[in-house]
Chain A
Amino acid sequence: MKCPHNIVNLMHDYLDGDIKPHDAKILKEHLQQCSACADHFNGLKKTVAFIQHASHLIPPSDFTARVMAKLPKEKKTVRMRRWLQNHPFITAASLFVILTIGSLFTTWNEQEQFSVSTRENVIIRGHTVIVPKGEVVKGDIVVRNGSIKIEGKVEGNVTVIHGEKYLASAGQVTGELEEINQVFEWIWYNIKERMKDVVETFE
C-alpha cells in the first residue's frame, strides 16, 4: 500500500502533542491499514516510554557541601566585613593596639616637616596655608606642622596636626575643623583614618 509522504512527520506531531485534528484522522486511518507504519509508530511510542521511565540517579549526599567548598574565596572578605560591622568595638580596640605597638609614637615625634595635602586654590606662606577670600577648596585639607587660615570656603574636612587653625568670620568649612596637638588626639585621628581604609577595602 502507498504511505502518505508525510506519515512519519504526523507520527512525531502526534508524539509532540500538537497534531491537527485533520492530520490525526489521516494518521489513525493509515495506521489501521498499514502494518509497516503501525510498527514504526509503536516503536516510537515504546522508545519514548523507555526513556521516560528510566530510573534516576541522585547525587551523593555531600554534593552541596563540595560545591560550596569549591566556590572562590570571595567569601572571606565578605565574612570579614560582616564581622567588622558586627564588632565595631573589638575592631577599634584591636586597631588601637596595633597602632600603639606600631610606629605611632615615633611618627608623632619624627614628622616635623611642614606639609599640606593640597595646593589647589591655596596660598602657602612659610608654614601657614591660606585659603583666600573668594576661593573654594574642594576636598579635605590636612596640614602638618603648620597652621591654616581660612578666609574662603573649604568643601570638606580640615585637620591641623601640630599647628593652629584660624577661621576668619567670612571663612567656611563644610566638614569638620580639627586641631591635633596631643599624642592621644593623634592616635585617635589615625584610628579613624585607618578604619576608613579598612571599611573601604572590604567594600
Chain B
Amino acid sequence: MEIFVKKRIKAIKKGDQNAYADIVDLYKDKIYRLCYRMLGNRHEAEDTAQEAFIRAYVNIHTYNPNMKFSSWLYRIATNLAIDKIRKKKPDAYLDEEISGTDGLTMYSQLSSNEASPEEALESLELQETVQKAIEKLPEKYRSVIVLKYIEDLSLQEISEILDLPIGTVKTRIHRGREALRKHLGHL
C-alpha cells in the first residue's frame, strides 16, 4: 500500500492530477470520520475534509516522504478542525444543539440490522451521548482522543501527527479519558 501511495504521489508531483483521485478514495473515510468526530456536524465535517484534501494537494511538494502519508493528511485535517473549533462563536453552539439530530438518520440506518427497535434507540441515544461527550472536550484533548480511539492510531503515530512528544500525548490522553469518564463512566 505504501508503494501504491508513493507511486501516486510521484505522478501527482509531475502534474498528473487524476492520480490524486486514488489518494482521496483511499483516505476519505478516515479523514471524514476524524473531521466528524472533531466537529460533530456532517456538513462541517465534509467541508473540512474536502479542504484538507485540497490543501494536501496544493502543498504536495512540502510533503516529507519520511513521514507516513496518512500521518501527514491527519495532521492537516486535525489542524483545520482545531481551527474551526476555535473560530466557532458561542452562538454557533446554540445551532449545534438544535441541529443535534444531524446524525440521527445516519445512526438509524447504521443500527437497522440490530435486534429490536428498543435496542436500536438505546444505541442511537448512546451514540449521541458519546459524540456530545467528545465535543465537550477542549480541542487539545479532543484531537488525541479521536486519533487514539476513533482512528485507532498508536501513541507514536499520534506524536508524529501532532508534532508533540509522546509524554505529552500520553498526558493528554489520560486527561481526555478522565474528562470523558465524567459523562460516560456512569452509564
Across the interface, do A59 and B29 meet the contact criterion of CB distance under 8 Å? Answer: yes
Tally of contacts, chain A with chain B, CB under 8 A:
106
Tell me whether B15 is interfacial, beta carbon within 8 Å.
Answer: yes
Greatest chain A CB density within 10 A among B42, B111, B145, B178 is at: B178
Tell me whether A21 is interfacial, beta carbon within 8 Å.
Answer: no
With beta carbons under 8 angstroms apart, the residue of A16, A42, A51, A68 that contacts B24 is A68
**Known pairs A68-B20, A78-B16; A16 contacts B173 (CB<8 A):** yes
Across the interface, do A51 and B134 meet the contact criterion of CB distance under 8 Å? Answer: yes
In the complex, residue of chain B having the shortest beta-carbon distance to the beta carbon of A46: B185
Tell me whether B3 is interfacial, beta carbon within 8 Å.
Answer: no
Tell me whether A52 is interfacial, beta carbon within 8 Å.
Answer: yes
Tell me whether A44 is interfacial, beta carbon within 8 Å.
Answer: yes
Binding site secondary structure of chain A: helix
| Chain A contact residue count (CB 8 A cutoff) | 34
Binding site secondary structure of chain B: helix
| Interface set, chain A 21-78, CB cutoff 8 A to B | 40, 42-44, 46-48, 50-52, 54-60, 63-64, 66-68, 70-72, 74-75, 78
Which residues of the other chain, B, contact A64 by a CB distance below 8 angstroms?
Answer: 21, 24-25, 28
Q: What is the distance, in angstroms, from A19's C-beta to the closest C-beta of chain B?
A: 12
Greatest chain A CB density within 10 A among B29, B103, B177 is at: B177
In the complex, residue of chain A having the shortest beta-carbon distance to the beta carbon of B174: A12
**Known pairs A47-B180, A54-B127; A75 contacts B17 (CB<8 A):** yes
Across the interface, do B50 and A63 meet the contact criterion of CB distance under 8 Å? Answer: yes
**Known pairs A59-B28, A64-B21, A68-B17; A47 contacts B184 (CB<8 A):** yes
Cα–Cα, bound, A81→B15 (Å): 10
Cα–Cα, bound, A11→B160 (Å): 25
Tell me whether B36 is interfacial, beta carbon within 8 Å.
Answer: yes
Q: A71-B57, A72-B57 are in contact. List 7 more A-B contacts (CB 8 A).
A: A16-B173, A44-B178, A47-B184, A48-B177, A63-B32, A64-B25, A67-B54
